[in-house]
Structure 1
Protein backbone atom coordinates (compact mmCIF):
# COMPACT_ATOMS: atom_id res chain seq x y z
CA UNK A 1 0.00 0.00 0.00
CA UNK A 2 1.55 3.30 -1.00
CA UNK A 3 2.00 5.98 1.61
CA UNK A 4 1.24 8.52 -1.08
CA UNK A 5 -2.27 7.25 -1.75
CA UNK A 6 -5.12 9.36 -0.45
CA UNK A 7 -6.20 7.89 2.84
CA UNK A 8 -7.92 9.47 5.80
CA UNK A 9 -6.11 9.18 9.11
CA UNK A 10 -6.88 5.81 10.63
CA UNK A 11 -6.09 3.49 13.48
CA UNK A 12 -4.53 0.67 11.49
CA UNK A 13 -1.26 -1.15 12.09
CA UNK A 14 1.46 -1.54 9.49
CA UNK A 15 4.49 -3.82 9.41
CA UNK A 16 7.31 -2.19 7.49
CA UNK A 17 9.53 -4.77 5.75
CA UNK A 18 11.19 -5.10 2.37
CA UNK A 19 12.21 -8.68 3.12
CA UNK A 20 9.77 -11.16 4.64
CA UNK A 21 11.85 -13.74 6.49
CA UNK A 22 11.03 -16.37 9.08
CA UNK A 23 10.60 -13.79 11.86
CA UNK A 24 8.23 -11.64 9.82
CA UNK A 25 6.16 -14.72 8.97
CA UNK A 26 5.92 -15.54 12.67
CA UNK A 27 4.75 -12.00 13.33
CA UNK A 28 2.14 -12.17 10.56
CA UNK A 29 0.87 -15.45 12.00
CA UNK A 30 0.67 -13.90 15.46
CA UNK A 31 -1.38 -10.99 14.13
CA UNK A 32 -3.75 -13.47 12.46
CA UNK A 33 -4.08 -15.65 15.59
CA UNK A 34 -5.02 -12.61 17.62
CA UNK A 35 -7.40 -11.38 14.95
CA UNK A 36 -5.49 -8.10 14.56
CA UNK A 37 -5.68 -6.55 11.10
CA UNK A 38 -2.44 -5.19 9.67
CA UNK A 39 -0.88 -4.08 6.39
CA UNK A 40 2.47 -5.33 5.19
CA UNK A 41 4.23 -2.29 3.72
CA UNK A 42 7.19 -2.92 1.42
CA UNK A 43 9.57 0.01 1.79
CA UNK A 44 10.91 -0.48 -1.74
CA UNK A 45 7.65 0.94 -3.11
CA UNK A 46 7.29 3.86 -0.70
CA UNK A 47 7.82 7.56 -1.20
CA UNK A 48 6.88 10.37 1.15
CA UNK A 49 6.09 13.98 0.23
CA UNK A 50 7.44 16.59 2.62
CA UNK A 51 4.80 18.01 4.90
CA UNK A 52 2.49 16.66 7.52
CA UNK A 53 -0.36 14.45 6.30
CA UNK A 54 -2.65 11.64 7.33
CA UNK A 55 -1.85 7.96 6.87
CA UNK A 56 -4.00 4.83 7.12
CA UNK A 57 -1.93 3.62 10.08
CA UNK A 58 -1.55 5.08 13.51
CA UNK A 59 1.02 2.46 14.57
CA UNK A 60 3.91 1.00 12.56
CA UNK A 61 6.20 -1.90 13.45
CA UNK A 62 9.50 -1.18 11.72
CA UNK A 63 11.04 -4.44 10.47
CA UNK A 64 12.97 -2.90 7.59
CA UNK A 65 16.32 -4.69 7.24
CA UNK A 66 18.21 -1.81 5.60
CA UNK A 67 19.46 0.62 8.24
CA UNK A 68 19.23 3.75 6.09
CA UNK A 69 15.71 2.91 4.87
CA UNK A 70 14.60 1.95 8.38
CA UNK A 71 15.79 5.23 9.85
CA UNK A 72 14.42 7.48 7.10
CA UNK A 73 11.12 5.63 6.92
CA UNK A 74 10.73 6.03 10.67
CA UNK A 75 11.38 9.77 10.36
CA UNK A 76 8.89 10.14 7.50
CA UNK A 77 6.18 8.15 9.24
CA UNK A 78 6.68 10.03 12.51
CA UNK A 79 6.40 13.34 10.65
CA UNK A 80 3.08 12.08 9.26
CA UNK A 81 1.86 11.48 12.84
CA UNK A 82 2.22 7.70 12.94
CA UNK A 83 3.73 6.09 16.04
CA UNK A 84 6.70 3.95 15.01
CA UNK A 85 8.09 1.03 17.02
CA UNK A 86 10.99 1.25 17.43
CA UNK A 87 11.15 5.03 17.28
CA UNK A 88 13.27 6.88 14.76
CA UNK A 89 15.60 8.00 17.57
CA UNK A 90 16.09 4.43 18.81
CA UNK A 91 16.62 3.15 15.27
CA UNK A 92 19.32 5.74 14.62
CA UNK A 93 21.10 5.18 17.93
CA UNK A 94 21.06 1.38 17.65
CA UNK A 95 22.19 1.55 14.03
CA UNK A 96 25.41 3.33 15.00
CA UNK A 97 27.78 1.45 17.30
CA UNK A 98 29.41 4.58 18.67
CA UNK A 99 26.08 6.27 19.47
CA UNK A 100 24.98 3.05 21.16
CA UNK A 101 28.20 2.95 23.19
CA UNK A 102 27.69 6.55 24.31
CA UNK A 103 24.08 5.83 25.34
CA UNK A 104 25.11 2.75 27.33
CA UNK A 105 28.02 4.59 28.96
CA UNK A 106 25.81 7.56 29.86
CA UNK A 107 23.39 5.14 31.53
CA UNK A 108 26.26 3.81 33.64
CA UNK A 109 26.13 0.30 32.19
CA UNK A 110 29.26 -1.88 32.09
CA UNK A 111 30.75 -2.05 28.59
CA UNK A 112 34.09 -3.12 27.11
CA UNK A 113 36.73 -0.40 26.87
CA UNK A 114 35.95 1.38 23.63
CA UNK A 115 37.40 4.26 21.61
CA UNK A 116 36.44 6.13 18.45
CA UNK A 117 39.37 7.26 16.31
CA UNK A 118 38.62 9.96 13.74
CA UNK A 119 41.30 8.76 11.31
CA UNK A 120 43.08 5.45 10.67
CA UNK A 121 46.31 7.08 11.87
CA UNK A 122 44.67 8.05 15.15
CA UNK A 123 43.38 4.48 15.45
CA UNK A 124 46.95 3.21 15.75
CA UNK A 125 47.54 5.50 18.72
CA UNK A 126 44.19 4.45 20.21
CA UNK A 127 45.16 0.79 19.86
CA UNK A 128 48.53 1.42 21.52
CA UNK A 129 46.67 3.03 24.43
CA UNK A 130 43.97 0.36 24.61
CA UNK A 131 46.35 -2.54 24.18
CA UNK A 132 46.26 -5.72 22.14
CA UNK A 133 44.38 -7.90 21.38
CA UNK A 134 41.60 -5.61 20.20
CA UNK A 135 38.80 -5.37 17.65
CA UNK A 136 37.88 -2.84 15.05
CA UNK A 137 34.25 -2.74 14.01
CA UNK A 138 32.27 -0.84 11.38
CA UNK A 139 30.09 1.92 12.83
CA UNK A 140 27.10 0.59 10.90
CA UNK A 141 26.70 -3.13 10.33
CA UNK A 142 25.12 -6.32 11.57
CA UNK A 143 25.62 -10.09 11.68
CA UNK A 144 29.22 -9.61 12.83
CA UNK A 145 30.39 -8.59 9.37
CA UNK A 146 33.66 -6.66 8.93
CA UNK A 147 34.70 -7.12 12.56
CA UNK A 148 38.46 -7.64 12.57
CA UNK A 149 40.47 -8.98 15.52
CA UNK A 150 43.95 -7.44 15.84
CA UNK A 151 46.61 -9.19 17.87
CA UNK A 152 49.53 -6.82 17.36
CA UNK A 153 50.56 -3.49 15.83
CA UNK A 154 51.80 -5.06 12.60
CA UNK A 155 48.37 -6.53 11.91
CA UNK A 156 46.74 -3.21 12.81
CA UNK A 157 48.96 -1.27 10.41
CA UNK A 158 48.02 -3.57 7.53
CA UNK A 159 44.29 -3.38 8.19
CA UNK A 160 44.27 0.37 8.79
CA UNK A 161 46.23 1.03 5.61
CA UNK A 162 43.39 -0.67 3.76
CA UNK A 163 40.79 1.29 5.78
CA UNK A 164 42.52 4.56 4.84
CA UNK A 165 42.17 3.71 1.14
CA UNK A 166 38.40 3.25 1.32
CA UNK A 167 36.43 5.98 -0.50
CA UNK A 168 33.78 6.70 2.14
CA UNK A 169 34.72 9.32 4.76
CA UNK A 170 32.67 7.41 7.36
CA UNK A 171 34.85 4.35 6.75
CA UNK A 172 37.82 6.34 8.04
CA UNK A 173 36.21 6.61 11.49
CA UNK A 174 37.53 3.62 13.39
CA UNK A 175 35.58 2.02 16.24
CA UNK A 176 38.14 0.29 18.45
CA UNK A 177 37.21 -2.06 21.29
CA UNK A 178 39.11 -4.33 23.62
CA UNK A 179 38.89 -8.02 22.81
CA UNK A 180 37.30 -9.45 25.94
CA UNK A 181 38.55 -12.90 26.93
CA UNK A 182 35.13 -14.54 26.93
CA UNK A 183 34.28 -18.22 27.51
CA UNK A 184 33.50 -19.06 23.86
CA UNK A 185 30.00 -17.63 23.91
CA UNK A 186 27.95 -14.50 24.22
CA UNK A 187 24.39 -13.81 25.33
CA UNK A 188 21.39 -12.52 23.41
CA UNK A 189 18.55 -11.20 25.55
CA UNK A 190 15.21 -10.05 24.13
CA UNK A 191 13.32 -7.20 25.78
CA UNK A 192 9.78 -6.19 24.82
CA UNK A 193 7.96 -3.32 26.51
CA UNK A 194 10.50 -3.07 29.30
CA UNK A 195 10.25 -6.78 30.15
CA UNK A 196 12.88 -9.46 29.57
CA UNK A 197 11.41 -12.34 27.57
CA UNK A 198 14.44 -14.55 28.07
CA UNK A 199 18.06 -15.07 27.05
CA UNK A 200 20.13 -17.53 25.06
CA UNK A 201 23.80 -18.34 24.74
CA UNK A 202 25.27 -18.05 21.26
CA UNK A 203 28.33 -20.21 20.66
CA UNK A 204 30.62 -20.43 17.67
CA UNK A 205 34.05 -21.36 16.40
CA UNK A 206 35.36 -17.80 16.16
CA UNK A 207 35.14 -14.39 17.82
CA UNK A 208 31.79 -13.84 16.09
CA UNK A 209 28.92 -15.98 17.37
CA UNK A 210 26.07 -14.47 15.33
CA UNK A 211 23.39 -16.99 14.34
CA UNK A 212 23.55 -15.55 10.81
CA UNK A 213 27.17 -16.73 10.67
CA UNK A 214 26.41 -20.24 11.93
CA UNK A 215 26.42 -19.62 15.66
CA UNK A 216 24.42 -22.07 17.78
CA UNK A 217 21.91 -21.07 20.44
CA UNK A 218 21.32 -22.67 23.85
CA UNK A 219 19.03 -21.62 26.69
CA UNK A 220 20.59 -19.22 29.18
CA UNK A 221 19.33 -18.99 32.73
CA UNK A 222 18.26 -15.46 33.54
CA UNK A 223 19.49 -13.80 36.71
CA UNK A 224 18.55 -10.51 38.36
CA UNK A 225 21.83 -9.05 37.07
CA UNK A 226 21.21 -10.15 33.48
CA UNK A 227 17.59 -9.02 33.61
CA UNK A 228 18.54 -5.61 34.97
CA UNK A 229 21.28 -5.00 32.42
CA UNK A 230 19.15 -6.05 29.46
CA UNK A 231 16.16 -3.94 30.48
CA UNK A 232 18.35 -0.94 31.29
CA UNK A 233 20.23 -1.25 27.99
CA UNK A 234 16.99 -1.23 26.00
CA UNK A 235 15.84 1.82 27.97
CA UNK A 236 19.19 3.57 27.44
CA UNK A 237 18.71 3.58 23.66
CA UNK A 238 14.95 4.16 23.86
CA UNK A 239 13.97 0.83 22.29
CA UNK A 240 10.58 -0.75 23.01
CA UNK A 241 11.64 -3.98 21.31
CA UNK A 242 15.32 -4.84 21.61
CA UNK A 243 17.85 -7.60 21.21
CA UNK A 244 20.56 -6.91 23.77
CA UNK A 245 23.96 -8.56 23.26
CA UNK A 246 26.11 -9.19 26.32
CA UNK A 247 29.35 -11.03 27.05
CA UNK A 248 30.95 -12.49 30.15
CA UNK A 249 34.60 -11.89 30.93
CA UNK A 250 36.72 -14.63 32.47
CA UNK A 251 35.68 -13.49 35.95
CA UNK A 252 32.01 -13.91 35.03
CA UNK A 253 31.30 -10.16 34.93
CA UNK A 254 28.62 -9.22 32.40
CA UNK A 255 29.30 -6.47 29.86
CA UNK A 256 26.79 -4.98 27.41
CA UNK A 257 28.03 -5.03 23.81
CA UNK A 258 25.21 -3.53 21.75
CA UNK A 259 21.47 -3.20 21.32
CA UNK A 260 19.62 -4.24 18.16
CA UNK A 261 16.48 -2.36 17.17
CA UNK A 262 15.33 -4.96 14.62
CA UNK A 263 15.39 -8.17 16.63
CA UNK A 264 16.06 -11.38 14.73
CA UNK A 265 14.66 -14.06 17.00
CA UNK A 266 14.50 -17.36 15.10
CA UNK A 267 17.54 -18.81 16.91
CA UNK A 268 16.29 -17.43 20.20
CA UNK A 269 12.85 -18.98 19.63
CA UNK A 270 14.33 -22.36 18.67
CA UNK A 271 16.44 -22.48 21.82
CA UNK A 272 13.62 -21.54 24.20
CA UNK A 273 10.84 -23.44 22.45
CA UNK A 274 7.43 -23.06 24.05
CA UNK A 275 8.76 -21.16 27.07
CA UNK A 276 8.01 -17.94 25.23
CA UNK A 277 6.43 -16.91 21.93
CA UNK A 278 8.38 -13.84 20.86
CA UNK A 279 6.14 -12.90 17.94
CA UNK A 280 3.02 -13.17 20.09
CA UNK A 281 4.55 -11.01 22.81
CA UNK A 282 5.51 -8.36 20.26
CA UNK A 283 1.99 -8.30 18.83
CA UNK A 284 0.57 -8.16 22.35
CA UNK A 285 2.80 -5.18 23.10
CA UNK A 286 1.71 -3.42 19.92
CA UNK A 287 -1.91 -3.95 20.93
CA UNK A 288 -1.25 -2.20 24.23
CA UNK A 289 0.51 0.68 22.44
CA UNK A 290 -2.42 1.03 20.05
CA UNK A 291 -4.84 1.40 22.96
CA UNK A 292 -2.97 4.32 24.55
Structure 2
Protein backbone atom coordinates (compact mmCIF):
# COMPACT_ATOMS: atom_id res chain seq x y z
CA UNK A 1 0.00 0.00 0.00
CA UNK A 2 1.30 3.47 -0.89
CA UNK A 3 2.50 5.52 2.06
CA UNK A 4 0.72 8.85 2.25
CA UNK A 5 2.66 11.67 3.89
CA UNK A 6 1.21 15.04 4.91
CA UNK A 7 3.56 17.90 4.01
CA UNK A 8 2.57 20.68 6.39
CA UNK A 9 3.32 23.99 4.69
CA UNK A 10 1.81 27.45 4.81
CA UNK A 11 2.61 27.94 1.12
CA UNK A 12 3.32 25.64 -1.80
CA UNK A 13 6.18 26.14 -4.22
CA UNK A 14 9.73 24.96 -4.88
CA UNK A 15 10.27 23.26 -1.51
CA UNK A 16 6.99 21.33 -1.53
CA UNK A 17 7.56 20.25 -5.15
CA UNK A 18 11.00 18.96 -4.19
CA UNK A 19 9.58 17.00 -1.26
CA UNK A 20 6.74 15.51 -3.31
CA UNK A 21 9.19 14.42 -6.01
CA UNK A 22 11.48 12.88 -3.40
CA UNK A 23 8.56 10.97 -1.86
CA UNK A 24 7.44 9.83 -5.30
CA UNK A 25 10.95 8.50 -5.94
CA UNK A 26 10.48 6.28 -2.88
CA UNK A 27 7.04 5.09 -3.93
CA UNK A 28 5.22 7.33 -1.47
CA UNK A 29 2.71 10.13 -1.97
CA UNK A 30 3.02 13.62 -0.50
CA UNK A 31 -0.03 15.81 0.05
CA UNK A 32 0.38 19.47 0.97
CA UNK A 33 -1.71 20.64 3.92
CA UNK A 34 -1.78 23.98 5.75
CA UNK A 35 -1.96 23.55 9.52
CA UNK A 36 -4.32 26.53 9.52
CA UNK A 37 -6.89 24.36 7.76
CA UNK A 38 -6.56 21.45 10.19
CA UNK A 39 -9.21 21.19 12.90
CA UNK A 40 -9.76 19.63 16.27
CA UNK A 41 -13.25 18.12 16.05
CA UNK A 42 -14.17 15.53 18.66
CA UNK A 43 -17.49 14.73 16.94
CA UNK A 44 -16.12 14.15 13.47
CA UNK A 45 -13.59 11.40 14.19
CA UNK A 46 -12.64 8.90 16.87
CA UNK A 47 -9.28 10.63 17.37
CA UNK A 48 -10.60 14.20 17.34
CA UNK A 49 -8.62 15.51 14.36
CA UNK A 50 -9.65 16.58 10.88
CA UNK A 51 -6.76 16.74 8.41
CA UNK A 52 -7.91 18.00 4.98
CA UNK A 53 -7.63 15.21 2.42
CA UNK A 54 -7.76 12.39 4.98
CA UNK A 55 -11.45 12.37 5.94
CA UNK A 56 -11.70 10.71 9.35
CA UNK A 57 -8.35 8.97 8.84
CA UNK A 58 -4.76 10.04 9.45
CA UNK A 59 -1.61 10.30 7.31
CA UNK A 60 1.07 7.64 7.62
CA UNK A 61 3.58 10.36 8.51
CA UNK A 62 3.89 14.14 8.55
CA UNK A 63 6.75 16.32 7.38
CA UNK A 64 6.68 19.89 8.69
CA UNK A 65 7.90 22.37 6.10
CA UNK A 66 6.31 25.56 7.41
CA UNK A 67 3.97 26.92 10.06
CA UNK A 68 2.26 30.23 9.36
CA UNK A 69 2.48 33.00 11.91
CA UNK A 70 -0.62 34.11 13.76
CA UNK A 71 -1.99 34.93 17.17
CA UNK A 72 -0.74 33.04 20.20
CA UNK A 73 -3.97 31.05 20.16
CA UNK A 74 -3.71 30.18 16.46
CA UNK A 75 -0.09 29.02 16.68
CA UNK A 76 -0.92 27.01 19.81
CA UNK A 77 -3.66 25.16 17.92
CA UNK A 78 -1.36 24.44 14.97
CA UNK A 79 1.29 23.00 17.26
CA UNK A 80 -1.41 21.07 19.13
CA UNK A 81 -2.23 19.29 15.86
CA UNK A 82 1.40 18.12 15.64
CA UNK A 83 1.40 17.01 19.28
CA UNK A 84 -1.86 15.09 18.83
CA UNK A 85 -0.63 13.36 15.67
CA UNK A 86 2.46 12.17 17.49
CA UNK A 87 0.39 10.89 20.43
CA UNK A 88 -1.77 9.02 17.90
CA UNK A 89 1.33 7.24 16.58
CA UNK A 90 1.91 9.31 13.44
CA UNK A 91 5.63 10.06 12.94
CA UNK A 92 6.05 13.86 12.78
CA UNK A 93 9.23 15.28 11.24
CA UNK A 94 10.15 17.64 13.03
CA UNK A 95 8.13 17.02 16.17
CA UNK A 96 6.08 19.84 17.65
CA UNK A 97 8.10 20.04 20.87
CA UNK A 98 11.36 20.35 18.96
CA UNK A 99 9.90 23.10 16.75
CA UNK A 100 8.72 24.94 19.87
CA UNK A 101 12.27 24.90 21.25
CA UNK A 102 13.81 26.17 18.02
CA UNK A 103 11.23 28.84 17.15
CA UNK A 104 11.75 30.49 20.56
CA UNK A 105 15.18 32.11 20.21
CA UNK A 106 15.50 32.77 23.94
CA UNK A 107 14.83 29.13 24.76
CA UNK A 108 17.28 28.08 22.05
CA UNK A 109 20.02 30.28 23.55
CA UNK A 110 19.47 28.89 27.04
CA UNK A 111 19.39 25.27 25.91
CA UNK A 112 22.52 25.62 23.78
CA UNK A 113 24.38 27.33 26.62
CA UNK A 114 23.37 24.63 29.12
CA UNK A 115 24.54 21.92 26.69
CA UNK A 116 27.95 23.56 26.27
CA UNK A 117 27.41 24.56 22.64
CA UNK A 118 29.46 27.62 21.66
CA UNK A 119 26.93 30.44 21.26
CA UNK A 120 27.05 34.21 21.91
CA UNK A 121 25.83 35.41 25.33
CA UNK A 122 22.11 36.16 25.24
CA UNK A 123 19.48 37.69 27.51
CA UNK A 124 15.67 37.74 27.57
CA UNK A 125 13.89 40.04 30.00
CA UNK A 126 10.61 41.86 30.37
CA UNK A 127 11.98 44.64 32.60
CA UNK A 128 12.96 47.72 30.62
CA UNK A 129 15.10 48.88 33.58
CA UNK A 130 17.02 45.58 33.60
CA UNK A 131 17.53 45.79 29.84
CA UNK A 132 18.80 49.36 30.19
CA UNK A 133 21.30 48.30 32.88
CA UNK A 134 22.55 45.50 30.63
CA UNK A 135 22.88 47.89 27.70
CA UNK A 136 24.84 50.41 29.80
CA UNK A 137 27.23 47.68 30.94
CA UNK A 138 27.79 46.35 27.43
CA UNK A 139 28.13 49.85 25.94
CA UNK A 140 30.70 50.80 28.58
CA UNK A 141 32.72 47.77 27.49
CA UNK A 142 32.50 48.93 23.83
CA UNK A 143 30.27 46.03 22.85
CA UNK A 144 27.26 45.86 20.55
CA UNK A 145 24.08 43.91 21.18
CA UNK A 146 21.61 42.60 18.61
CA UNK A 147 17.95 43.07 19.51
CA UNK A 148 15.89 40.31 17.90
CA UNK A 149 12.21 39.37 17.78
CA UNK A 150 12.07 36.22 19.87
CA UNK A 151 9.84 34.56 17.23
CA UNK A 152 11.36 36.24 14.15
CA UNK A 153 12.74 34.67 10.98
CA UNK A 154 14.60 35.52 7.74
CA UNK A 155 16.59 38.32 9.41
CA UNK A 156 13.52 40.55 9.81
CA UNK A 157 13.37 43.04 12.66
CA UNK A 158 17.00 42.75 13.75
CA UNK A 159 18.53 45.90 15.25
CA UNK A 160 21.93 46.75 16.69
CA UNK A 161 21.95 48.60 20.02
CA UNK A 162 24.69 49.65 22.41
CA UNK A 163 28.03 50.75 20.95
CA UNK A 164 27.35 50.49 17.23
CA UNK A 165 29.90 50.99 14.46
CA UNK A 166 28.57 51.68 10.99
CA UNK A 167 29.45 53.55 7.79
CA UNK A 168 28.34 56.88 9.27
CA UNK A 169 30.04 56.26 12.62
CA UNK A 170 33.20 54.16 12.04
CA UNK A 171 34.42 54.87 15.58
CA UNK A 172 31.06 53.92 17.04
CA UNK A 173 28.12 55.68 18.63
CA UNK A 174 25.58 54.80 21.32
CA UNK A 175 22.23 53.46 20.07
CA UNK A 176 19.47 53.22 22.73
CA UNK A 177 16.88 50.52 23.27
CA UNK A 178 13.42 51.03 21.78
CA UNK A 179 10.46 51.31 24.20
CA UNK A 180 8.81 48.09 25.47
CA UNK A 181 5.82 48.49 23.13
CA UNK A 182 8.14 48.18 20.13
CA UNK A 183 9.32 44.74 21.28
CA UNK A 184 5.96 43.36 22.54
CA UNK A 185 7.23 43.78 26.08
CA UNK A 186 10.16 41.36 25.77
CA UNK A 187 13.80 42.26 25.16
CA UNK A 188 15.74 39.39 23.60
CA UNK A 189 19.34 40.47 23.13
CA UNK A 190 22.37 38.61 21.80
CA UNK A 191 25.94 39.88 21.93
CA UNK A 192 27.11 40.91 18.46
CA UNK A 193 30.08 38.98 17.07
CA UNK A 194 32.08 41.44 14.92
CA UNK A 195 33.23 40.36 11.43
CA UNK A 196 36.70 38.84 11.39
CA UNK A 197 37.89 40.46 8.15
CA UNK A 198 38.61 44.04 7.12
CA UNK A 199 35.83 46.55 7.73
CA UNK A 200 35.42 47.34 4.01
CA UNK A 201 35.14 43.70 2.94
CA UNK A 202 31.99 41.56 2.79
CA UNK A 203 31.44 39.35 5.83
CA UNK A 204 29.73 35.99 6.13
CA UNK A 205 28.20 33.37 8.34
CA UNK A 206 27.57 29.68 7.67
CA UNK A 207 24.39 27.70 7.22
CA UNK A 208 24.76 23.98 7.93
CA UNK A 209 21.95 21.51 7.21
CA UNK A 210 21.75 18.67 9.73
CA UNK A 211 19.65 15.63 8.75
CA UNK A 212 19.14 12.68 11.06
CA UNK A 213 21.78 13.92 13.48
CA UNK A 214 24.46 14.30 10.82
CA UNK A 215 25.65 17.49 9.12
CA UNK A 216 25.12 16.99 5.41
CA UNK A 217 25.97 20.28 3.64
CA UNK A 218 27.28 23.77 4.35
CA UNK A 219 27.47 27.14 2.67
CA UNK A 220 28.66 30.63 3.41
CA UNK A 221 26.09 33.44 3.29
CA UNK A 222 28.08 36.47 2.14
CA UNK A 223 26.92 40.07 2.49
CA UNK A 224 28.21 43.62 2.92
CA UNK A 225 25.55 44.01 5.60
CA UNK A 226 25.95 42.53 9.09
CA UNK A 227 22.73 40.53 8.53
CA UNK A 228 23.55 37.47 6.42
CA UNK A 229 20.15 35.96 5.67
CA UNK A 230 19.54 35.05 2.04
CA UNK A 231 16.12 36.72 2.34
CA UNK A 232 17.97 39.96 3.11
CA UNK A 233 20.15 39.77 0.00
CA UNK A 234 23.11 37.61 1.02
CA UNK A 235 24.60 35.41 -1.68
CA UNK A 236 25.26 31.70 -1.26
CA UNK A 237 28.78 30.32 -1.65
CA UNK A 238 29.72 26.64 -1.35
CA UNK A 239 31.71 25.87 1.80
CA UNK A 240 33.56 22.73 2.89
CA UNK A 241 31.81 20.87 5.68
CA UNK A 242 34.64 20.84 8.20
CA UNK A 243 34.59 19.19 11.62
CA UNK A 244 34.66 22.67 13.18
CA UNK A 245 31.29 23.37 11.54
CA UNK A 246 29.75 19.91 11.69
CA UNK A 247 30.34 19.23 15.37
CA UNK A 248 28.57 22.29 16.87
CA UNK A 249 25.79 22.08 14.25
CA UNK A 250 25.08 18.44 15.09
CA UNK A 251 25.24 19.16 18.82
CA UNK A 252 22.80 22.06 18.41
CA UNK A 253 20.27 19.93 16.50
CA UNK A 254 20.63 17.13 19.04
CA UNK A 255 20.15 19.52 21.97
CA UNK A 256 16.83 20.76 20.56
CA UNK A 257 15.70 17.28 19.53
CA UNK A 258 15.39 18.14 15.83
CA UNK A 259 15.26 15.50 13.09
CA UNK A 260 16.47 18.11 10.62
CA UNK A 261 17.75 21.63 11.22
CA UNK A 262 19.30 24.62 9.52
CA UNK A 263 22.02 25.78 11.89
CA UNK A 264 23.51 29.27 11.50
CA UNK A 265 27.07 29.76 12.73
CA UNK A 266 29.25 32.87 12.90
CA UNK A 267 33.08 32.93 12.74
CA UNK A 268 34.77 34.13 15.92
CA UNK A 269 38.34 34.12 17.28
CA UNK A 270 37.62 30.99 19.35
CA UNK A 271 35.94 29.11 16.51
CA UNK A 272 32.42 29.05 15.02
CA UNK A 273 29.56 29.96 17.35
CA UNK A 274 25.93 28.91 16.84
CA UNK A 275 23.72 31.96 16.30
CA UNK A 276 20.35 30.33 15.62
CA UNK A 277 18.77 26.95 14.90
CA UNK A 278 15.87 26.68 12.45
CA UNK A 279 13.48 23.76 12.85
CA UNK A 280 11.57 24.49 9.63
CA UNK A 281 14.63 25.34 7.58
CA UNK A 282 14.53 26.33 3.92
CA UNK A 283 17.28 24.87 1.72
CA UNK A 284 16.81 26.38 -1.74
CA UNK A 285 19.94 28.56 -1.48
CA UNK A 286 21.97 25.67 -0.11
CA UNK A 287 20.75 23.36 -2.88
CA UNK A 288 22.18 25.76 -5.47
CA UNK A 289 25.70 25.15 -4.15
CA UNK A 290 25.29 21.49 -3.14
CA UNK A 291 25.68 18.54 -5.51
CA UNK A 292 23.24 16.04 -3.96
CA UNK A 293 19.47 16.24 -3.52
CA UNK A 294 18.71 17.70 -0.08
CA UNK A 295 14.96 17.03 -0.24
CA UNK A 296 15.74 13.37 -0.95
CA UNK A 297 18.02 13.30 2.09
CA UNK A 298 15.14 14.55 4.27
CA UNK A 299 12.65 12.08 2.84
CA UNK A 300 15.09 9.16 3.11
CA UNK A 301 15.75 10.01 6.76
CA UNK A 302 12.01 10.15 7.50
CA UNK A 303 11.27 6.83 5.78
CA UNK A 304 14.41 4.88 6.73
CA UNK A 305 15.13 6.09 10.27
CA UNK A 306 12.15 7.85 11.84
CA UNK A 307 9.25 5.68 10.68
CA UNK A 308 10.85 2.32 11.61
CA UNK A 309 11.93 3.76 14.98
CA UNK A 310 8.40 4.92 15.78
CA UNK A 311 6.99 1.56 14.65
CA UNK A 312 9.34 -0.30 17.00
CA UNK A 313 8.39 2.04 19.85
CA UNK A 314 4.66 1.48 19.20
CA UNK A 315 5.17 -2.28 19.14
CA UNK A 316 6.94 -2.21 22.49
CA UNK A 317 4.14 -0.12 24.02
CA UNK A 318 1.53 -2.53 22.65
Q: 1:102-144 CA deviation, whole Å, 9 max, x = no partner?
A: 1111110111111122222321111223343211111101001
User: What is the Cα deviation at residue 70 of structure 1?
Assistant: 5.0
Structure 1: give runs of 5+ residues left out of the alignment.
1-9
Residues 37-116 of structure 1 correspond to what in structure 2 (within 5 A)? 37-49=29-41, 52=47, 55-67=57-69, 68=75, 71-116=79-124
- 8 Å contact from structure 2 (residues 207, 221) kept in 1: yes
Residues 133-212 of structure 1 correspond to what in structure 2 (within 5 A)? 133-152=144-163, 156-157=175-176, 159-161=177-179, 164-166=180-182, 171-183=184-196, 184-212=203-231
When residues 215 and 221 of structure 1 are mapped into structure 2, their CA distance, relative to the original with a 3 A threshold, is same
Helix, strand or coil at the partner of 2:12: coil
- 8 Å contact from structure 1 (residues 135, 148) kept in 2: yes
- Check if 1:270 corresponds to 2:288: yes
- 8 Å contact from structure 1 (residues 189, 245) kept in 2: yes
Helix, strand or coil at the partner of 2:120: coil
Q: Counterpart in 2 of 1:5?
A: none
Q: 1:31-86 CA deviation, whole Å, 9 max, x = no partner?
A: 12222123222223211135845742231101123252653332232244322111
- Check if 1:31 corresponds to 2:23: yes
Residues 233-248 of structure 1 correspond to what in structure 2 (within 5 A)? 233-248=252-267
Q: Which segment is superposed worse, 89-98 or 63-72?
A: 63-72
Aligned equivalents of 1:97, 1:219: Cα separation in 2: 27
Q: Counterpart in 1 of 2:313?
A: none
- 8 Å contact from structure 2 (residues 263, 274) kept in 1: yes
User: What is the Cα deviation at residue 87 of structure 1?
Assistant: 0.9
- Check if 1:215 corresponds to 2:234: yes
Helix, strand or coil at the partner of 1:39: strand
Aligned equivalents of 1:89, 1:40: Cα separation in 2: 21
TM-score normalised by L of structure 1: 0.86
Structure 2: give runs of 5+ residues left out of the alignment.
49-55, 70-74, 165-172, 197-202, 310-318
How many residue pairs end up in the alignment? 274
User: What is the Cα deviation at residue 156 of structure 1?
Assistant: 4.2
- 8 Å contact from structure 1 (residues 52, 79) kept in 2: no
Q: 1:129-166 CA deviation, whole Å, 9 max, x = no partner?
A: 33432111111010011110124498543x422xx234
- 8 Å contact from structure 1 (residues 62, 70) kept in 2: no
Larger Rg: 2
